[in-house]
Structure 1
Amino acid sequence: MDDLLQHFIVEAHELIQQATDDLLALERDPQASAPMDSAFRAVHTLKGSVGLFDFAPMGTALHAAEDLLGDLRERRDGIDAPVIDSLLACIGQTERWVAIIEQTGQLPPDAAEEGYRLARALRSQLDADPAQNADAVLQADLGWIEELVAQSRNPANLGAQDAPLVAIRYTPRADCFFSGDDPIALLRSVPDLMAVRLSNRDPWPPAGEIDPFSCNLKIEALSGAELDVVKAIFRFVPDQVTIHKIAPTAEGQASIAASNSGAAGVGIGAGARTLRVDAKRIDRLADLVGEMVIAKNALAHLAGQFRDGADRKHLAQGLLASQAAIERLVAELHGAVMDVRMLPMRDIFRRFPRAVRETASHLGKGINFSMEGEEVEADKAIVEGLFEPLLHLLRNAVGHGAEPEHLRLESGKPAKARIVLRARRDRDRVTVEVEDDGRGIDPAAIRQTARERGIVPADGLDRMSDAETMDLIFAPGFSTASEVSDLSGRGVGMDAVRSAAERLGGQVSVRSEQGRGTTIRLSLPLTIVMTKVMAVRLGRELYGIPLDGILETAFVPASRVLPVRDAEAFVLRDRTLPLVRLADLLEIPPPPEPPQGLKVVVMAVGDDPVGIAVDGFAERMDVSMRPMSGILAGMPGVVGTTLLGDGSVLMILDIPELIG
């Protein structure tokens, strides 16, 4: 991808998000000056960047949005829901266009029509004369093309041509001279001109009041040149020109074959993924690499001494010192690389207010949406992987959780439902919650739906607690929606949330109180690339357990292990905890003689601590974890694998999944 285009895509994403944030803030406080000025700057900058490329439809829409924002900024009134809807629709379409450009390098074929439609909708919000608005958006009325052909000297010759023609309508801006544009020179640059018509854009004032520095032209022309050649001539004024490819017919008329003034272009591969990093973090990496080079040279010096037969005791001391230095540097380098990959939740959270607003508007519900913990950081893969599951959860909160306004008022609640998206750091994990104060989950309705759809046998449903019943919302194919819509009822969503969380190495849980609301919680690791594990022994084998889930380790005498029905428990500091033997979870035969005491890893499973009995503790280590692949992909109870120093494979276990 061209470097300039790649830079445009990165900048466009940021400007689109900034404009979205400002417009939503402006909707909350129409008199606020800061978001108005910021939104205008974002759209103006984006429109200027688009002008460097052959994306005329996008420039047309953004130009209209800029004019509308400029008008609103001057008169400071008229900012209502329809105006914000129109502006957000333009920004949303621009975002979709940028995504397509990132993949293909060009706009889709229908971009011209969509750009004109958006521009007309935006300019309809202005107080200006509708006739002027129609010209300003370079309207898609194509009758002028037939008129131009009919007024040409020899329309029969036009129709007899085998090659298609190009129709041009160029309406220079009034201040185009101050931008260095020369409309007549541009027109003369068009090769193979066949017809030209000049007219005034606005009515002419009296002769004495004509401003010689203001352009009042409208230029229409026909050319037999190639479409790409014509578009290249007008590439710096894309918001002022519309170009159509027309196919002459045998009757001497021109039929429009395509309207793609901004769609043609050279195909470009998908854009590379980029990550903006604080320069201080890069400097830290560079410093650590420099120290690693010094450590490598010290090790090379020791290797040379060994080759020359130096004293072994002296060499052993040097090797130990070198090993300690390299171990320290690797740990610091690991931390520095993780810092580079860390992104604030703000990067993903900022995309949700508009989605919540659109969903609420579609369903006719009032929503008071807020976000907390946007500064919490997590690995880039975790942050980016959260978009789809959180979008599902927020749509469910609006569609299923929030009651209609009249029902909320009848139950004594505020008219608008409250939905909170929050993130917080929890030791070596990050917790993300979606909370609403809606109707809550009715366990009876869940049981009824599960019974009707055969998700759980009837006898099993009767034995389930309310908490276990509510967990069924994550079952594949489960939905309580009475009918299928574009938002719910297809039996996907919550199942996708759990699958996404598990792919990221996390878990999802639900807590709800009928009539008071629901909270969906995702608990995720800070990173899925490098992690800390504790190696535990089971017989002669080693297994890894992620350190972020371990609360403590303990030695429990056999006398403190208590049988509880068909399970076991133990007493730790006057508290009784459930005991699970790792050998039983992995279906490994127990040793012939039971030990006198148990080595126990106390872990957080859900909201409760659980003891995991192992044969011994090995060491704590930083590992580069690889997810399971091939025929082992999806193996339950295994997060991934890593290689140990001796070349053996260490399996890293997902204890909560094994217990579940």
Structure 2
Amino acid sequence: MSALFEQFILESRELLEAAGAALLRLERAPTETAAVNDLFRALHTLKGATALFDMAPFTRMVHAGEDALMAVRDGRAVMNGDLADRLLDLLDIGTAWIDGLEHSQSLPDDADTRARAQEAGLRAALGGPAESMDGGTPAGFTWVDELSEAERAKAAGRTVTAIAYDPAEDCFFAGDDPLDLCRRIPDLLLLRVETAGAWPMLTDLDPYRCALRFRALSGASKDELTRLFRGVPDQVSLATVAIPAPSAPVPLAAPASLATAMLREQARILRLPGNDVETAARRPAVLRAVRNILAAEGRNADAPSLDRAADGPVDALIRCIESLADGPAAAAPAAPATPPLQARRTLRVDAERMDRLMALVGELVVAKGSLPYLAREAQQGRNADALAQGIKEANGRIDSIVGDLQDAVLRLRLLPLSRVFDPLPRLVRDTARRLGKPVELHLSGGETEADKDILDILGEPLLHLVRNALDHGVETPERRRAAGKPEVATLRVQAFQDSGGVVVEVSDDGAGIDAAAVRRKAVAQGALSAEQAAALSDTEALRLILLPGLSTSDSVSDLSGRGVGMDAVRGAVEQAGGRVEIASDSGVGTRFRLVLPLTMMVTRLVTVETAGALYGFPVTLVTGMQRFPHGAIRRMKHAESVVVQDAVVPLLRLRRLLNLPEDERERSGESVLLVDLGGQPVALVVDTFRERAEVVLKPMTGLLARLRGYAGTAVLGDGSLLLALNLRELV
């Protein structure tokens, strides 16, 4: 993927996200000028970016959205739900096209058809047909009727395309080059360059503003010309016109090319009256212009003659330029083929964080410099105490720098949670409209940072929770009125850092979760016996909704009801080493809390030893460590259990889960690790407790990657190997 195209993909995504956010703001407050300006700016920039890469359907579609927004800004239309739906659909198509461009580097085959459909839909939403590039009619091209016979001769007897190009005055600042565009008109039959208005005095002429307009006839089709002028569709009108044949043939000299006219104009500039100082001031500008014209025409071989005349008399330079104007104009070389693009993962990094990283690398290099000196001291048999002290000091410095370096590297990957919050307003808006439930969304804590991998995992669970809150939690307006609540429900999503991790809460003021109904559903589906369900507290009963296949909804919709959403939430959060907490008050509302580590690169584990090997479990899943005497373990057939805080907890043995030999040694009791597997407490017998450790996990590769019970491996400080276990898969 070229650097320019990669930048286009990144910036287009940001522009589409910014446009979506601004559009939602505008729908809520149609008179908010800032929202209109933000949306218009995003669309205008996106239009220019797509035009740069020759994506005519994309440019056409975005231009149609820009026209609709201009109607809103000018007061000719009102931003209502229908128009907002049309514009949001446009942004969705744009997002899908950008995703496709990243992988296939081309728009879909139906892109032009979809672009035209979007354009027609926007015109309908505005209450009638809107002006477009194809909307020009011969009635707006009276200049064609005023052409002389000599100007008509080349197109006489043909049906051609008339072009009226009125560049914006500030077109140069937008990166447009009107002359270059006209030079590239295919099958150019006529080109007229006219002043757009009264020509100002030379002293009042602003060279940075375009004061020209262009009229042309071309034998090319309107579609071909539309692609050529894709970057300035609002400044160009096209019409198909028939040029009648002349009554008598008119001899016509071959027209001079546009490059020839431009070169002759540079020679004329050098002939303008003025003193020697003024003429000398014009010479560098003329030379630059002539060199650029030659380069654009592919005539680099003619440049040496210009260089020889550049330092000579003005008359000699004028003659040289005129001779270049009389020479053949070479066709512009074809652009080299673009190599196949490959999608790459990208991550934008704050410059200050990169600077800190480089500073730490410099400190590490300096600290490393003391090691050769200590090595020489050791070889020479110097004082052992002094040598030990030097090694200790060097180790302390390097250890401190490595710790800071690790922190700096981790912070390179930190991104704000606003990345996963940004899609939520659109989701809430569309879902609430479908369900007929007015909902007000409150977002806070978007600036809270977490590792990019955490954000990638968090996105889907967050969408599940928000959809469930809208579908299950929030009541209809009628039920809310009956319960004495405001018709507009409140949905809150907030994030904050706590105890070195990230907490994301999703809460609503809806009907809440009925713990008794959850118990009944669990019993009906065979997840628990009636006695087990009755023994659960309300808090424990609420966690049953995290079990696979258990849903409290009586009907299945495209939003929820299949019993897989909350199980997916739990699975994703536990995969990241986190946990899910649930709190609900019937009739008041529900709160889901996702507790996640700050990063997945460094994992905090509780380590244990079993059968001579070291194993690790995520700290977030471990609720305690205890030793139980043999008499405290209850046995029923092959099942074992223990009582923990007045609750019966199933007991498993790690040796059996891993198919390791039984421990034949006599023990006074068992070392038991207490873990929480998505609301289900489990007691796990291990041989020995070890210390907690922060490790960098390496995932299993090759055939071992299929062993889902193992999360990865890590090397500890003493060189020993640790296996991190996925206990949920083992169980």
For Structure 1 versus Structure 2, the TM-score category normalised by the shorter chain is: 0.7 to 0.9
Q: How far apart are the structure 2 equivalents of 1:582 and 1:474?
A: 21
**How far apart are residue 320 of structure 1 and its match?**
2.5
Unaligned runs of 5+ in 1: 140-150, 156-166, 199-211, 244-264, 571-575
Question: CA, structure 1 residues 314+358, in 2 after alignment: closer, same or farther (shift >3 Å)?
Answer: same
**How far apart are residue 455 of structure 1 and its match?**
5.3
Q: How far apart are the structure 2 equivalents of 1:513 and 1:152?
A: 83
Q: Which residue of 1 aligns with 2:427?
A: 355
Q: Which residue of 2 aligns with 1:66?
A: 66
**Matched ranges for 1:56-205 at <5 A:** 56-75=56-75, 78-126=78-126, 130=128, 133-136=130-133, 172=165, 174-176=166-168, 179=171, 189-191=184-186
Q: Summarize deviations over 1:97-140 as a string: whole Å, max 9, x none.
A: 2222222222211221222222333344558xx45x2434769x
Q: Summarize deviations over 1:51-99 as a string: whole Å, max 9, x none.
A: 2121222222222322333333343972332233233222222222222
Identity %: 38
Q: How far apart are the structure 1 equivalents of 2:387 and 2:364?
A: 20
**Matched ranges for 1:51-450 at <5 A:** 51-75=51-75, 78-126=78-126, 130=128, 133-136=130-133, 172=165, 174-176=166-168, 179=171, 189-191=184-186, 221-222=219-220, 233-234=228-229, 236-237=231-232, 268-443=340-515, 445-446=517-518
- Whether 1:499 aligns to 2:551 is no
1:176–1:182 CA contact under 8 A, matched in 2: no
SS in 2 for 1:100: helix
Q: 1:523 aligns with which of 576, 579, 595?
A: 595
Aligned-residue CA RMSD (Å): 4.6
Q: Which residue of 2 aligns with 1:247?
A: none
2:421–2:446 CA contact under 8 A, matched in 1: yes
Question: CA, structure 1 residues 495+620, in 2 after alignment: closer, same or farther (shift >3 Å)?
Answer: closer
**How far apart are residue 2 of structure 1 and its match?**
1.7
SS in 2 for 1:626: coil
Question: CA, structure 1 residues 115+658, in 2 after alignment: closer, same or farther (shift >3 Å)?
Answer: closer
- Whether 1:456 aligns to 2:527 is yes
2:2–2:341 CA contact under 8 A, matched in 1: no
SS in 2 for 1:641: strand
2:191–2:215 CA contact under 8 A, matched in 1: no
Equivalent residue letter for 2:122 = L
Question: CA, structure 1 residues 551+427, in 2 after alignment: closer, same or farther (shift >3 Å)?
Answer: farther
Q: Which moved more, 1:335-344 or 1:46-55?
A: 46-55
SS in 2 for 1:515: coil
Q: Which moved more, 1:303-312 or 1:458-467?
A: 458-467
**Matched ranges for 1:1-40 at <5 A:** 1-40=1-40
Q: Which residue of 2 aligns with 1:203?
A: none
Q: How far apart are the structure 1 equivalents of 2:402 and 2:634?
A: 47
**How far apart are residue 402 of structure 1 and its match?**
2.0
Q: How far apart are the structure 2 equivalents of 1:241 and 1:477?
A: 59
Structure with the greater alpha carbon radius of gyration: 2
Q: Which residue of 2 aligns with 1:46?
A: 46
1:474–1:495 CA contact under 8 A, matched in 2: yes
**Matched ranges for 1:578-597 at <5 A:** 584-587=653-656, 592=665, 594=667
Question: CA, structure 1 residues 400+607, in 2 after alignment: closer, same or farther (shift >3 Å)?
Answer: closer
TM-score (norm 1): 0.74
Equivalent residue letter for 2:82 = P
Q: How far apart are the structure 2 equivalents of 1:430 and 1:363?
A: 32
Q: Summarize deviations over 1:468-519 as a string: whole Å, max 9, x none.
A: 5544433444445555543234553223222222222222343334433332
1:55–1:238 CA contact under 8 A, matched in 2: no
Q: How far apart are the structure 1 equivalents of 2:191 and 2:120?
A: 25
Higher relative contact order (CA 8 A, sep 6+): 1
1:367–1:419 CA contact under 8 A, matched in 2: yes
Q: How far apart are the structure 2 equivalents of 1:268 and 1:476?
A: 43
2:133–2:234 CA contact under 8 A, matched in 1: no
Q: How far apart are the structure 1 equivalents of 2:382 and 2:409?
A: 37
Question: CA, structure 1 residues 220+369, in 2 after alignment: closer, same or farther (shift >3 Å)?
Answer: farther
Q: How far apart are the structure 1 equivalents of 2:93 and 2:359?
A: 44
2:457–2:576 CA contact under 8 A, matched in 1: yes
Q: Summarize deviations over 1:264-296 as a string: whole Å, max 9, x none.
A: x96743432222222111111111111221232
**Matched ranges for 1:590-629 at <5 A:** 592=665, 594=667, 618-628=690-700
1:536–1:614 CA contact under 8 A, matched in 2: yes
1:417–1:438 CA contact under 8 A, matched in 2: yes
* Count of equivalent residues: 586
**How far apart are residue 336 of structure 1 and its match?**
0.8
Q: How far apart are the structure 2 equivalents of 1:197 and 1:479?
A: 71
Equivalent residue letter for 2:564 = V
Unaligned runs of 5+ in 2: 137-154, 193-209, 239-336
**How far apart are residue 349 of structure 1 and its match?**
0.5
Q: How far apart are the structure 2 equivalents of 1:432 and 1:287?
A: 34
Q: How far apart are the structure 1 equivalents of 2:683 and 2:563?
A: 36
**How far apart are residue 12 of structure 1 and its match?**
1.7
Equivalent residue letter for 1:116 = R
**How far apart are residue 353 of structure 1 and its match?**
0.7
Q: Which residue of 1 aligns with 2:304?
A: none
